[in-house]
Chain A
Amino acid sequence: MIKYLITVLLISLFILSCTQTVTSHSNEVVSYLEANVATTDPIHSTNKYASTVSSSIFENLLHYHYLKRPIVLETQLAEEMPHISDDGLTYTIKIKRGVFFQDDPAFPNSKGRELIAQDFVYSWMRLADPKNKALGWWLLDGKIKGLNEWRNGSADYAKPIEGLKAIDQYTLQVILNKKSFQFLHVLAAPPLAVVAREVIKKYGDKINDHPVGTGPFKLKSWIRNFQLELVKNDKYHKTFYPKEGTIDSKKKGLLQDSGQTLPLSDKITIRIITERQPLWLSFLKGQVDHGIIPKDNYHQIFENKEIKTEIRKKGIRVLAQKRPDLVYISFNMEHPILGKNKKLRKAISSAIDKKQILKTFYNNRGLIAQGPIPPGLPDYDKTYTNPVSYNLEKAKQLMTEAGYPNGKNLPVFDYDLPGSATWSRQLGEFLKDQLSQIGVSIRIVPNTWPQFDQKVKAKKATLFDQAWVADYPDSENFLQLFYSKNISPGPNSFNFVNSDYDQMFEQFLSLPPSQKRFNLTQKMIKLLNDESPAVFLLHRLFKLPYHSWLKNYNEYPIIYDHLKYLRVDQHQKQKDLNKLKNG
């Protein structure tokens, strides 16, 4: 009897397990995110995960062109690019007519109403409202006339703000406190997306589960830690796939859908896959349309930096994504030894072999940083080389000049890691080994993210590993990391204070991208390299694999509304799936 039962049980399990479930929607894109989405509310959307979802549902006045590189701004909900007064302070923005919010019970008869300029006034007041503790507030902090006073005062929505008003139903006027050449980029940032007051009022605390915007997709379902489903907004205003791109856009097949109405797919499924192995294997099986290549699987795809022929034959392609980012090691300039001794910092910087880090930890995917600004951004100088480069002999000499020959009398420094991942520890061990050559000892301290953030923002860390990804494509976003008004808990986690730098940075802010600004930027970078508040390691290059059935895949870190451009060629998918199945 028992034998019979076991046999039946095992056979049933096997049959059930072999029921492969292919439930692909006819025009569905299956995407992924590597971390859970904490919010769909634009005012809190300050990371990739939240912004990818919120920018598919909500829209801004401006957004970034999907194909052009270097990246350029273009209108989204604005009828035309903002009109800026001669003094650079007043922005008059006409908004598109005939744009409707998605249908929702929050509106009369559940029919989404037309977007008006006042919606932007409300949305930005909401971003400034201290009750909401919006993570995106820094984007407007100190920028709009009267907005900070309103925030610090009653934060009464009935009270007008001098620098933020709707002149008529379709015209928004913004007056800045001072000229800002970055303000156009701010208009494209996810936290400045427009929401409807009725929706916020109806759902209150539950707004996360009821995101209602003007965007191409509506939220169909959201199961935390598992997946999100977005479906096409049938009322989406007429928007078309771009007709222009870079020189090689056509060659890459990125202009095949030019002029097509967006969004190109009916449904987007975003799977949350936090572990790299299942994500990689799911990609190889064709269960997600694009993915990542884990460090240790790089050799499976590439041979001499080229995609292997057998991999290409299976329809797997790779997008090379030059990221506007910076990976660096920070010194806390308030540290009594490190902060006061420039030569010691330079010695440490000179003892670290960046080329080796790039090779060992990044499979040579990246570019050694010569300063804080990544390539592709204005003011980047490709001819410049950081004089504080890897040179062990020079590092030893600098140690002597710093007063610590061979590390004599130097205490052990804590090197804080953000997290405790093996990769991070390995990098820590590598640095430990490198620095021991000049007599500098470090103690590797793994942290949880909250611990790490607390240490850094409370100025308690000494040496620590960090990366900065651009919020918008302007060199200001990297140069502000060293501005004294931004010291911890702000983004200047080095706590670098230098009046010459500050003066130059303030001058930089008043200049449009130009030769003059470029020259000034180079002076600032030279000062930074001379002071060495950080070891500039590298700018990353991501190699992102995708299946050839996924059309128009051109992901870029600052562009969060990319999902509407994607579509799946079903015929190609069936063909490629068979190839993947047959090994």
Chain B
Amino acid sequence: MTFQERIPWGYVAKRLLTFIPTLIGVTLLTFLIFHVVGGDPSYQLSGKNASLDQIKLIRKELGLDLTLTRQYLIFLKQTFTFNWGQSWSTRQNVNEMFLFGIGPSFFLAFPAFIASIFLSVLMGLFAAYIKSKKSWIDQTLTSTCLALMSISLLVYIISFQYYFAFYLGWFEINGWSFDWTQRWSYLTLPWLISLFVSLGPNTLLFRSTFLNEVHQNYVKTARSKGVSQIRIFTSHILKNSSVPIVTIIMMQIPYLLTGSLLLEAFFGIPGIGGLLIQAIQSADFPVIKAFTVMSTFIYLLFHLLTDLLYIFIDPRIELQDDN
């Protein structure tokens, strides 16, 4: 079967159609939250010496004088045309802002993500392998992972930035370079922090995935045939765990694109996280809308891609309409 023949196009089309009600639900929720707790930005945008006329003019320009239904319909139109217009606070095109920010956010998150997946799979395999032999090593590893998980990201950032960047001077404290050769020096420390933060939960997740496989019949068969333990773990168990591994990986990718608010703020990386913080602080609704809808869309898309990947990983899996 060719690649195209293996894709259940009917299933894909139906799943794509389900995006519509989900997106409508998300837009409705975002819209309601913004109007209930967001605060009317025209008061802030009118400055400290505001007048009622000024506020009125700004409300009109932002479309806040329209009925809520009309405002929501405009939001829906923007959602399905991916045209968010201009930011209310910076007057930049919102799409251009995101296109600019997505690169730095991606460079910040992706390498650390790859390293984290690679290391946590290895550590998960090792923990599952060692559990039956030397349980104290497994216990130490599990406890270490739990300890790593219990420390908040902010503590990692503050302490690592102070100790490694400032005190030891191994890394840059803050900044960004558009020159590839220099960018690494700004990114290494945030990568390491991301790695530390994600290593604990990922290792524990993979460990339990592998442990679920350890007692399967195919493992017993392989053992009875005299296959070495290392080969059983690296070849059989790893292969049979690929579905949950792929799920974990694919479900984390959308978050890589939406940026890390704290890491970007502390390390001065001009990514999407910074845009979002600023948008929330200034009730910049076009940016908030774009962020919410785009992240939902990416999340849904990766969900679908994950399902499709299953049929390539495990030919026994068949995607059905009611799945």
Contact = CB atoms under 8 A, between A and B. Distances in A.
Interface of A: 2, 9, 13-14, 16-21, 23, 36, 38-39, 46, 130, 133, 135-138, 141, 205, 208, 223-226, 271-275, 277-279, 281-282, 284-285, 287, 447-454, 456-458, 489-491, 581
B41 A450 contact: yes
Interface of B: 37-41, 43-52, 54-55, 57-58, 61, 86, 89-92, 97, 100-101, 115, 122, 158, 161-162, 165-166, 169-177, 181-182, 184-185, 188-189, 191, 265-268, 270, 274-275, 278, 280-283
A17 B182 contact: no
A224 B280 CA distance: 16
Contact of B184 (A16, A138, A272): A16
Nearest to A486: B49
Contacts of A279: 174
Contacts of A281: 161-162, 165-166, 173-174
29 contacts: A13-B184, A17-B185, A17-B189, A19-B182, A21-B172, A135-B45, A138-B49, A141-B51, A208-B92, A225-B101, A277-B158, A278-B266, A281-B165, A281-B166, A285-B166, A447-B39, A448-B38, A449-B39, A449-B44, A449-B281, A450-B38, A450-B39, A454-B39, A457-B46, A457-B50, A457-B55, A489-B43, A489-B51, A491-B48
Given A281-B166, A284-B166, A489 B55 contact: yes
Contacts of A491: 48-49
B39 A21 contact: no
B37 to A, nearest CB: 7
Contacts, number: 158
Chain A to chain B: the 8 pairs with minimum beta-carbon distance, closest first: A450-B39, A451-B39, A450-B283, A17-B188, A138-B49, A226-B270, A278-B174, A16-B184
Contacts of A287: 173-175
Nearest to A469: B48
Nearest to B262: A275
Contact of A451 (B37, B50, B86, B181): B37
A16 B179 CA distance: 13
Contact of A453 (B37, B43, B91, B158): B43
Contact of A277 (B52, B61, B162, B274): B162
Nearest to A41: B91
A490 B51 contact: yes
Contacts of A275: 265-266
Given A138-B49, A278-B173, A450 B184 contact: no
Contacts of B86: 205
B43 A224 contact: no
A275 B52 CA distance: 34
Task: Describe B's contact surface by its main secondary structure.
Answer: helix
B39 A224 contact: no
A293 to B, nearest CB: 15
Given A21-B177, A277-B161, A489 B38 contact: no
Contact of A38 (B40, B54, B89, B161): B89
B172 A18 contact: no
A38 B282 CA distance: 11
Among B46, B48, B101, B169, max chain A CB count under 10 A is at B48
B47 to A, nearest CB: 4
Contact of A278 (B45, B267, B270, B283): B267
Nearest to A46: B47
Given A278-B266, A489-B43, 18 more contacts: A2-B122, A13-B188, A21-B182, A39-B91, A133-B61, A136-B47, A208-B92, A223-B270, A277-B162, A287-B173, A287-B174, A447-B39, A449-B282, A450-B40, A450-B281, A458-B43, A489-B51, A490-B50
Nearest to B184: A16
A50 to B, nearest CB: 11
Contacts of A46: 47-49
Given A17-B188, A138-B51, A224-B90, A450 B43 contact: yes
Nearest to B42: A454
A138 B50 CA distance: 8
Nearest to B266: A275
B54 to A, nearest CB: 7
B98 to A, nearest CB: 12
Contacts of A278: 161, 173-174, 266-268
A9 B118 CA distance: 12
B174 A448 contact: no
A356 B176 CA distance: 41
B184 A451 contact: no
A138 B47 contact: yes
B170 A17 contact: yes
B55 to A, nearest CB: 6
Contacts of B39: 447-454
A306 to B, nearest CB: 24
A490 B49 contact: yes
Given A224-B90, A450-B41, A17 B171 contact: yes
B44 A453 contact: yes
Contacts of B41: 450
Contacts of B282: 449-450
Contacts of A9: 115
Contacts of A271: 174-175, 268
Nearest to A139: B49
B166 A224 contact: no
Residue among A275, A453, A454, A457 facing the most chain B CB atoms (10 A cut-off): A453
Contacts of A208: 90-92
B43 A454 contact: yes
A277 B266 contact: yes
Given A19-B182, A226-B270, A282 B40 contact: no
Most buried by B among A2, A281, A451, A489: A489
A480 to B, nearest CB: 9
